[in-house]
Structure 1
Amino acid sequence: MADRLDGTVALVTGASSGIGAAAALALSAQGAAVALAARRADRLTDLAARIAVAGGDAIVLETDVTDEAQARQAVERTVDELGRLDTLVNNAGVMLLGPAVDAPLSEWERMVSINLMGLLYCAHAALPHLLEAAGKQPRRVADMVNISSVAGRVARNGSAVYNATKHAVGAFSEALRQEVTGRFVRISLVEPGATATELASHNRPEVQTTIQQRFEGVERLSAEDIADNIAYIVTRPRHVAVNEMLVRPTQQTG
């Protein structure tokens, strides 16, 4: 049975588009007040307005999670302005694919900075507040949902460093889960397959062509599909933890 989020607060990173924006809407629909964190403040403002029109409560936090101080400030502002932190959705990420030979090192550095360090900065700042919220009404449980990828399960030619960052997220999530689960902080890993978002568009043109060819004819997931799974995870009763969720389009084989 679903357990609504009324009276709780969620922080979503990478909330300006795609899975992050959809997750913010889904959590708001379940009753949570939502802090929206991303670099594109104009998009966050539009999203906050949509949430307000639907009767929800949202604040805008212009944030670059690769800056530890900004990541920490996003967490602290969430608590200061909304009163607590019950749910963190670590969604901010980038997928820059292509052969490792002669790859631009700037792409590798960007993925490590956002996909791994940004997630770790947010997790580190949020944990004390999640542990505190887990002892409070109305739910007496708190959640951290880390967004990974099928690439965190399966290493593939052409995505070596992206694979590395997402495998690291999986390892961190499982070790952290073991550390805090006894205190009713649930750590969940969501691994989407091919999803129709802006993620692929950040690649070089020749890489975009390869991605399009690989998934030609596959009906991709929507951001709302993944958001629905995130909402499912965090609305389970206190005694139920969904530790890992791998979600592929029906037609995706790998």
Structure 2
Amino acid sequence: MQNIENKVVLITGASSGIGAATAKVLAAHGAKVVLSARRKDRLQQLAAEIGENAAYLASDVTRLDDMKALTALAKERFGKVDVLFANAGIMPGSSMSERKVNDWMAMIDINIKGVLNAMAAVLPEFLAQKRGHIIVTSSIAGTKSVPGNAVYAGTKHFVRAMLDSFRTESVMENTNIRTTTIYPGAIKTELLDTIAPSETKSQVEAFYQRVGLEPDVIADAVLYAIAQPDNVDVSDLAIRPSREG
């Protein structure tokens, strides 16, 4: 596919779900993928399945040094970095009145700081080479208010606003860095596993089981965004089941 072959793509949250599906799809079209997640065994298995076009590093997006090491691995193994897919995220949803402060802070650390750490690690490369592509997984929750999941929605609104502002900066500074924000709806991943057991969780799980989409649909959206000519910026892509309100 045009503009995919031999591109080097860093993927966070690559051990399952959207990240793993995206790694497989991109590699199948000739990209080289560098995989990041905390579960080393999952990464080993995925990299072995993909073959020589995959490298991995057990790493934590909340640590800037880990993201710098991931970038260094990409350069050492494949000589460059073309794309960052900042995909890692968690969703331990609850009402604000429950005051689950530890969950709030964990979402801020991973969903917000994790994206910023990954960007901080790759930006020196992108700025030096005057090109690059940053793709971030937001959520449909990043486009509206979500009672019962306010902090998660807030983190996803943050990445939406931040990346759009960065896109404008890139245009002003003539750095040729493309940006894409992905807004998944109900996708069958392990994201719901981070929610504590409750009646609400059971209802959400039943909905996802009934109408949820497979992670491959998001992988195909990432593939589409990367494959466009360098002068085309696919800024926003919302992907959800046709039966999701």
Q: Does TM-score exceed 0.5, indicating one fold? A: yes
What are the residue-to-residue correspondences of 1:178-193 with 2, within 5 Å? 178-181=168-171, 182-193=174-185
* Secondary structure in structure 1 of the residue aligned to 2:4: coil
Aligned counterpart, 1:20: 19
CA distance in 2, matches of 1:115, 1:109: 10
Give, as a single letter, the amino acid of the residue that structure 2 aligns with 1:14: G
Aligned counterpart, 1:3: 2
Give, as a single letter, the amino acid of the residue that structure 1 aligns with 2:106: R
* Secondary structure in structure 2 of the residue aligned to 1:31: coil
Per-residue deviation at 1:217?
Answer: 7.3
1:80-114: CA deviation from partner (whole Å, max 9, x where unpaired): 22210001000000011111112321111110000
CA distance in 1, matches of 2:66, 2:100: 26
Q: Choose the corresponding residue for 1:89, options 85, 90, 93.
A: 85
Aligned counterpart, 1:77: 73
Aligned counterpart, 1:119: 115
Aligned counterpart, 1:212: 205
Alignment CA distance shift 1:57-1:133 (3 Å): farther
Aligned counterpart, 1:239: 231
Per-residue deviation at 1:73?
Answer: 1.5
* Secondary structure in structure 1 of the residue aligned to 2:221: helix
Give, as a single letter, the amino acid of the residue that structure 2 aligns with 1:172: M
Per-residue deviation at 1:246?
Answer: 0.8
Q: Which runs of 5+ in 1 are unaligned?
A: 135-140
* Secondary structure in structure 2 of the residue aligned to 1:183: coil
Confirm or deny: 8 A CA contact 1:85 1:133 kept in the other structure.
no
Q: Choose the corresponding residue for 1:60, options 56, 62, 66.
A: 56
Q: Choose the corresponding residue for 2:186, options 186, 190, 194.
A: 194
Which consecutive segments of 4 or more residues in structure 1 shift more than 4 A?
A: none
**How many residues end up aligned between the 2 structures?**
242
Q: Could you tell which deviates more after superposition, 7-16 or 65-74?
A: 65-74
Does residue 1:151 correspond to 2:135, yes or no?
no
TM-score, normalised relative to structure 1: 0.91
* Secondary structure in structure 2 of the residue aligned to 1:60: strand
Give, as a single letter, the amino acid of the residue that structure 1 aligns with 2:8: V
Q: RMSD of the TM alignment (CA)?
A: 1.5
Give, as a single letter, the amino acid of the residue that structure 2 aligns with 1:174: D
Confirm or deny: 8 A CA contact 1:86 1:133 kept in the other structure.
no
TM-score, normalised relative to structure 2: 0.94
Aligned counterpart, 1:32: 31
* Secondary structure in structure 1 of the residue aligned to 2:71: helix
Confirm or deny: 8 A CA contact 1:4 1:30 kept in the other structure.
no
Aligned counterpart, 1:177: 167
Per-residue deviation at 1:126?
Answer: 0.6
Q: Could you tell which deviates more after superposition, 10-19 or 73-82?
A: 73-82
CA distance in 2, matches of 1:204, 1:68: 28
* Secondary structure in structure 2 of the residue aligned to 1:143: strand
CA distance in 2, matches of 1:193, 1:132: 35
